[in-house]
Structure 1
Amino acid sequence: MSVEQTLWAQDATGLADLVRKGEISPVELTEAAIARAEATRPDINASAEPLYDAARTRAKTVDRSLPLAGVPFAIKDLGIAIKGVPTHGGSRIPAWLADVNSVLTDRYLAAGLIPIVTSTSPEHGLRLMTESKAFGITRNPWNTGHTSGGSSGGAAALVAAGVVPVAHASDGGGSIRVPAACTGLVGLKTSRGRIPLTPLVSESWYGMVVDHALTRSVRDCALLLDLTHGPDLLSPYAALPPKGSFTAAAARDPGKLRLAVYRKSPLGLPVSAETLVALDTAVALAREGGHTVEDIDLPFIGRDFFADFASSVASAVAGTMRAEALRVGRSVLGDIERATRVVARFGELVSAGETYAGLQRLHAASRQLIAETAQYDAVLMPIIAHPPLACGGMDPKGADEFIENLLDKLHLSVLLKLKPLFGQMMDKSLWFTHWPAIQNVSGQPSIALPVHVTDAGLPLGIQAAGRPGDEETLLSLAAQMEKISGWLGRRAPLRVPS
């Protein structure tokens, strides 16, 4: 088997084991990953900044005894610092050059990983499709006419294409789980406070953003979490400590769990038949594993909940644009995309009092959600309401484009204060992804499971949301479902090594 075939076929744990045994070298893996990144670049367009020279240098000296020594890796071009590497955030705003590493970057390097690229993101992570004016369209390796999701779509495309077996990702409203659902990967949205964002920020989007990874296997997801979790001295808060290692949790039988399934759209929007088939597949796998599953409703998670979430994000975006203007010494409104500009202007109109009141309502709904679902070990629910969309499928067209242009050119974001118009714009933003933001607000962990492939050959994953701080149960359940289903053997058909 060639090195490229090994890279394409193995997960990160398997590659690291081969390195430790001396059967393959970090240099060979790094060169194979770089070659595959270049070969697939025209197909998927998932790399923001190449890190090839640094990767080659690191591969020559990495300590082969480290847990993930020599494993090629990608770091998202958003919300994380790599010393000396430009960070674009998917934007045409002049790049930021970090003079320090994030704590998480240092933990990745301490694990022995070899970053070969930074991965693409939509502008400031605001879209759940990875398409930007700065970098273009990132495409799905399963079918390059379709999206790999967002905002960690570049990370997902690189893993699904076999360039790297695992990649850093972040999630503020589904940005790990949506790409996982679109590309047939495992994606864990961690508990709030599980992984530090320091020293770049203490928290992001009022604590709704978390970092972790997209992986091929559950065991990789667990191992990487073991190597990166835990607060540092600058962390404002921390998740409940695990009872043991996450790797051990993924390796053990989960026992008989009590699970729930939530089938409704909290926005009252259409849900495709394929999404419901994927959810039924997950339920069937859970029952095959010996677990009970019962249907539940969450009537207090509805349109008002998502309106408060959207308004909070808008205020955070407005603050981010202020910080960016301060950094570059001028207004950045001319650099950013039209939709981002409309959101930022609306965020400036949301008062501090309105933001605080909205956050308090979100916290109250979260407390009710956690209390009412505490009797269950996990709740199964969809991630995406439809199979992965065609590229450009969320671009406004016709009347929608006219309205967005009007709001932008005439500086009429104030009209979004009108509830019907705000609701219409919210629906246009979230009609593909009705559920993921729930856990970003509540702080609960949730894992994307690649349970289904549509008749058209596109992945369609669902999620299992757990109790706060209880990634261990989710990883144990996910590993069991992975074993029963055989999904680990699925690979995107893009440039399969001969």
Structure 2
Amino acid sequence: MKIDEYAALDATALAAVIAAGEVTADEVAAVATAAITEVNKELNAVVAGPFDRPLDYAPDGRFAGVPFAIKDLVCQIAGVPTRLGTRLTGTGLVPPADSHLMERFRAAGLATLAVTTTPELGFNGNSEALAYGSTRNPWHTAHSAGGSSGGSAALVAAGALPVAHANDGGGSIRIPAACNGLVGLKPSRGRVPSGPGHSEGLFGCGVELAVSRTVRDTAALLDEVAVSFPGDPFVIAQPARPWSQEVGADPGRLRIALHTESWAGSYVDPEVAQTVEAVAQVLEAAGHHVERATPRIEWQTVLNSTITLWTTFLAEAVAGLEAMTGTKASAENLERATLACVEHGRSLDALALCAALDAGNTITREVGRFFTEYDLLLTPVHNTPAPPLGHLDQNADLTAVEWATHLFDNCSFTPLYNQTGMPAISLPLGQSTRGLPIGVQLGGPACSEALLLRVAAQLEQAMPWADRRPRVHAANFG
């Protein structure tokens, strides 16, 4: 198999040719290793790897032998160091066992070859941690790959991998998917396991899955990893059938709300708004009813609650890292905005955390009410196409409130779904005049992944993106 042949296949197609004996898993791993090595010279998306051989996986799994990577945050791999994007961990902490999600990735047959970059402790909409250096966008290397799953997204967009692990606490699956021209589904809270080290990551805001190039890969991977483990805090409604069967299924005639103005009141690039408007027209042509509407949310309440949840979580996480490493957190090992957020979190009390959780409940009730009137909400993902490198500088001398305001002014459409625990998907349905991808977001009520996947597949057929290729691409080295 040549690199260009490999890079043209999604995970489903790769699994099929391996299973058919047209190519061996070892041959695919060798090609993937070469592809990762070549594109990473320009993208700086890899923390560790490519490994000499893939990590162990089930040879009879659905994706047996399909190359894969794990983001350097939350998902733990037994014996593989994790740095979490921060200098505080030194050369890395070594987990003694796999997390439950890693167990599922192995059972699915995914052949992990690398660990990918993330911003420090995941608290950014780009991936430029001082611990690793800047990860660059394969469409335009002077621009951000997004975050916090920027390394995974850059490798998938560049054809080095068909799919890679990602997680999302404020937009970190959907933002890099939008910046790199990928599919990124943030599933419902509790859908994908995050244990045993966590019950609900980031007080329920954080969820796990992946970025991919096709809707069918996203659906099939969700089928493989959406499994409950003993001791999970709750078990949410299971699908009526496998999610992969939703791809191509008729979604029916839906009530879709359209909203293109930032809830934060911040700037939205006209090309982004125009792309969302164009998608609305395609949905109307497909028979759906689309009208302008938005939940009645007060942005400052969303922002304040997010700041309290995030900074409290960061303070707790850093306290744990200090205990494990024996190193005190300081300006020598944390970026300045990160340190400011940690200090802010340490200054809060239990009542402040309870107030943030109560605010989240109020927000969720309103958005839940909204979804009794509409089936889906159509918005941008990111306020602009991928910004220039350095635009979201986590080492800037900012207070916690200043940093979070700056961050979410740029990424104002994503955190609502983290607060509410509801699912949302980013789809690569446009491009800017400079050739940067533009992502469009569809969100729905809790446990509506099936409906999101049906509409996503409908849009993938109506507005295909498979023929788009960034400047930095594995096929260029084949």
Q: Secondary structure in 2 aligned to 1:83?
A: coil
2:194 pairs, out of 194, 197, 210, with 197
CA-atom RMSD in angstroms: 1.6
1:364 pairs, out of 362, 365, 373, with 362
In structure 2, the residue matched to 1:132 is 129
1:80 pairs, out of 60, 71, 75, with 75
2:333 pairs, out of 328, 332, 335, with 335
Contact 1:262–1:298 (8 Å) recurs in 2? no
In structure 2, the residue matched to 1:19 is 18
In structure 2, the residue matched to 1:123 is 120
Distance 1:275 1:349 in 2: 38
Q: Secondary structure in 2 aligned to 1:460?
A: strand
Q: What is the correspondence of 1:108-257 to structure 2 with a 5 Å cutoff?
A: 108-257=105-254
**1:203 Cα deviation from its structure 2 partner:** 1.7
Counterpart AA for 2:385? P
Contact 1:242–1:470 (8 Å) recurs in 2? no
Matched, 1:478 2:456: yes
Distance 1:366 1:54 in 2: 45
Distance 2:203 2:212 in 1: 27
In structure 2, the residue matched to 1:274 is 271
In structure 2, the residue matched to 1:443 is 421
Matched, 1:68 2:67: no
Distance 1:106 1:51 in 2: 20
* 1:315-369, Cα deviation, whole Å (9 max, x unpaired): 1111111111111123122311111100000111121101111210111111111
Matched, 1:91 2:48: no
In structure 2, the residue matched to 1:419 is none
In structure 2, the residue matched to 1:428 is 406
Q: Secondary structure in 2 aligned to 1:492?
A: coil
**1:291 Cα deviation from its structure 2 partner:** 1.1
Distance 1:382 1:71 in 2: 31
In structure 2, the residue matched to 1:292 is 289
In structure 2, the residue matched to 1:354 is 352
Contact 1:181–1:384 (8 Å) recurs in 2? yes
Structure 1 stretch 332-341 or stretch 152-161: which is displaced more? 332-341
In structure 2, the residue matched to 1:260 is 257
Structure 1 stretch 248-257 or stretch 16-25: which is displaced more? 248-257
* 1:234-290, Cα deviation, whole Å (9 max, x unpaired): 211232111111000113122222211122211111111111012112212212322
Distance 1:493 1:9 in 2: 15
1:107 pairs, out of 77, 98, 104, with 104
Structure 1 stretch 480-489 or stretch 212-221: which is displaced more? 480-489
Q: What is the correspondence of 1:39-58 to structure 2 with a 5 Å cutoff?
A: 39-55=38-54, 58=56
Distance 1:49 1:349 in 2: 35
* 1:446-477, Cα deviation, whole Å (9 max, x unpaired): 00011101110000101100110110000000
Distance 2:324 2:169 in 1: 23
Gaps of at least 5 residues in structure 1 are 408-415, 417-421
**1:51 Cα deviation from its structure 2 partner:** 4.8
In structure 1, the residue matched to 2:433 is 455
Distance 1:304 1:192 in 2: 21
2:375 pairs, out of 371, 374, 377, with 377
Identity in percent: 34
Counterpart AA for 1:481? L
**1:89 Cα deviation from its structure 2 partner:** 0.5
Distance 2:296 2:261 in 1: 10
Matched, 1:493 2:459: no
Q: Secondary structure in 2 aligned to 1:488?
A: coil
In structure 2, the residue matched to 1:28 is 27
**1:125 Cα deviation from its structure 2 partner:** 0.3
Structure 1 stretch 175-184 or stretch 365-374: which is displaced more? 365-374
In structure 1, the residue matched to 2:2 is 3
- Structure 1 length normalisation: TM-score? 0.92
**1:193 Cα deviation from its structure 2 partner:** 0.2
**1:54 Cα deviation from its structure 2 partner:** 3.8
Structure 1 stretch 308-317 or stretch 152-161: which is displaced more? 308-317
Contact 1:230–1:238 (8 Å) recurs in 2? no
Contact 2:119–2:147 (8 Å) recurs in 1? yes
| Consecutive aligned runs of 4 or more in structure 1 exceeding 6 Å deviation | none
Distance 1:148 1:396 in 2: 15
Counterpart AA for 1:312? L
Q: Secondary structure in 2 aligned to 1:136?
A: coil
Contact 1:281–1:451 (8 Å) recurs in 2? no
Distance 1:474 1:371 in 2: 18
Distance 2:107 2:63 in 1: 9
**1:396 Cα deviation from its structure 2 partner:** 7.7
Change (3 A) 1:396 1:309: closer
**1:226 Cα deviation from its structure 2 partner:** 0.2
**1:426 Cα deviation from its structure 2 partner:** 3.5
